[in-house]
Amino acid sequence: MFIDEAIIYVKAGKGGDGIVHFRREKYVPFGGPDGGDGGKGGDVILEVNPMLNTLYHFRQKKTFKAQDGAPGGKQNMTGKSGEDLVIEVPPGTLVYNADSGELLGDLTQKGQRLVVARGGRGGRGNTHFATPVRQAPRIAEKGEPAEEIRLRLELKLIADVGIVGVPNAGKSTLLAKVTNAKPKIAPYPFTTLEPNLGVVVLDDDLTFTMADVPGLIEGAHKGVGLGVDFLKHVQRTKVLIHLLDGLSDDIVADFHQINAEMALFDPYLSKKPQVVAINKIDLPEVREKAESARKELIKHSQLDKVWLISALSGENVHQLLYQVADLLQSVPKEESLGEEIPVYRVDKDPREFEIFETPEGWRVVGEAIERAAAMTYWEYPQSVRRFQKILQALGVEEGLRKAGVQEGDTVLIGDFELEWVE
């Protein structure tokens, strides 16, 4: 089964908690702080595996979570970092933020990686908070919360050559004839409901991949018929075989219609190199009509050559494939992307916050303040006082006063419920 879209939820690992601990040894009754830092949480990474060709495996599993970092230990021991979670995807996978629609990455090369969620850093142990004045700090940080995101994965089939044409032009028959692919074939429109991929072997040193794209009809760029669902697969190809149905009432009109649909979907498609062929010349009623259409296409469509072939019998197919191979050699190779791509994020100051009045109390929303709340040990008074200083430094305290907060009001930050005290 060919699955070309999936929505998954990924969550990186939370950072391990730093700890409050003091050195305790014989003859050292007042040892200093030695609480270790927590380990970093694992990242979630997408990696291209060329052995995959669909997103089908995401139908079975849609939630992925990396390992959390371990808490710190005594004697300044740092907790173990969480293992990264690597999720394999097929080449040609586009990665979007499912909620915002933002494109995060385009994965095309073997082994290419995209970090989609970064693990939280480990919280600092109380060793970091010792000062000449405060020599026994009961302050530490909890691990940083993990990034989480809903992703929409979209697969655009990667093939060197794409076969396009109206329904029932013989695209699947041609693919089956020249490759080891086994597409479903029948004499009615839209037999092909999903792209099929095969490998053409002309000789030991000359091979390329080929895909038949389900038949296009008028209005395909708007989603009519199978439309946009499969036009996107043509975007990845380097060369197109434009296969025309020799039994059509108007072969020339079919040629212009398909080119128009591709150009309306993506103007770049009309610039792709094309090899044009009229199929089914094994049928007596087609050969004469095909010859007339071939001459008209060459005269009025700026084509140097139009092939007359039979995908069923193989007539002229081999010669056509060698022209395709020559065109492939002339197409510039795309520059390879780096092995690992960071997640693209729109620049936004994490210190920004908003304050809302709700039936439950005053809700403070902001990346930095919510992260600080999640990393606070509320059971330690010194940690609470440190959080109060963060409120002042970020301007949250002043913002709440301007909003009208009163003594005893409830203030909600992240998952925490606090009471306002002047």
Please indicate, yes or no, if residue 64 is contained in any of the structural domains: yes
Picking from 63-67, 267-271, 356-360, which range would have the lowest pLDDT averaged per residue? 267-271
| Contacts for 302 with CB less than 8 Å, ≥ 6 apart | none
Q: Are residues 398 and 314 in the same domain?
A: no
Residue 256 phi/psi, 5° resolution? Answer: -70, -35
Q: What is the pLDDT of residue 218?
A: 38
**H-type alpha helices, 211-351:** 227-234, 251-265, 284-300, 317-330
User: Are 53 and 123 part of one and the same domain?
Assistant: yes
The distance in angstroms from the start CA to the end CA of the chain is 64
CA pair distance 185, 176, nearest whole angstrom: 9
Residue 349 lies in a domain: no
8 A C-beta contact, residue 273 and residue 303 = no
Residue 338 belongs to a domain: no
Report the number of distinct structural domains present in the chain: 3
Mean pLDDT is lowest, of 43-57, 111-125, 241-255, for 43-57
Of 228, 246, 240, nearest to 273 by C-alpha is: 240
Q: CA-CA distance, 305 to 395, in Å (whole number)?
A: 72
Q: What would the mean pLDDT of 330-337 be, rounded to a whole number?
A: 58
Residue 340 domain flag: no
Residues 247, 373, single domain; the answer is no
Helical (H) or strand (E) element with 107: strand 103-107
The reply to whether 319 and 386 lie within a common domain is: no
User: Hey, what amino acid is at 220?
Assistant: A
Predicted confidence at residue 348, as pLDDT, reads 62
Structural domain boundaries, residue 288: 161-330
pLDDT at position 191 over 50: no
Q: Are residues 198 and 140 in the same domain?
A: no
358, 403: one domain: yes
pLDDT higher than 70, residue 215: no
- Whole-number percent of the chain with pLDDT over 90: 39
Those residues whose C-beta lies under 8 Å from the C-beta of residue 133, and which sit 6 or more positions away, are none
Q: Is residue 337 assigned to a domain?
A: no
Residue linked to tokens 């979630």: 44
Residue 233 contacts residue 161 (beta carbons within 8 Å): no
What phi and psi values does residue 158 have, to the nearest 5 degrees? -100, 115
Domain check: are 171 and 118 in the same one?
no
Looking at every residue in the chain, the average pLDDT score rounds to 83
**Does residue 402 form part of some domain?**
yes
> How many residues belong to the chain?
422
**Whole-prediction pTM value?**
0.63
Pair (107, 235) in one structural domain = no
pLDDT at 190 over 60: no
Do 177 and 127 fall within a single domain? Answer: no
Helix H or strand E segment including 208: strand 206-212
* Closest of 198, 306, 286, 200 to residue 245, by C-alpha: 286
Stretch 315-343: mean pLDDT, rounded? 72
User: What is the Cβ-side half-sphere exposure of residue 163, based on CA atoms within 13 angstroms?
Assistant: 35
Sign of CA dihedral 278, 283, 289, 295: positive
Question: Does residue 380 have a pLDDT over 90?
Answer: no
SS3 235: coil
Q: For 279-323, what is each residue's pLDDT tens digit?
A: 999 998 898 889 999 999 998 877 889 999 998 899 999 999 999
Confidence of residue 192 (pLDDT cuts 50, 70, 90): very low
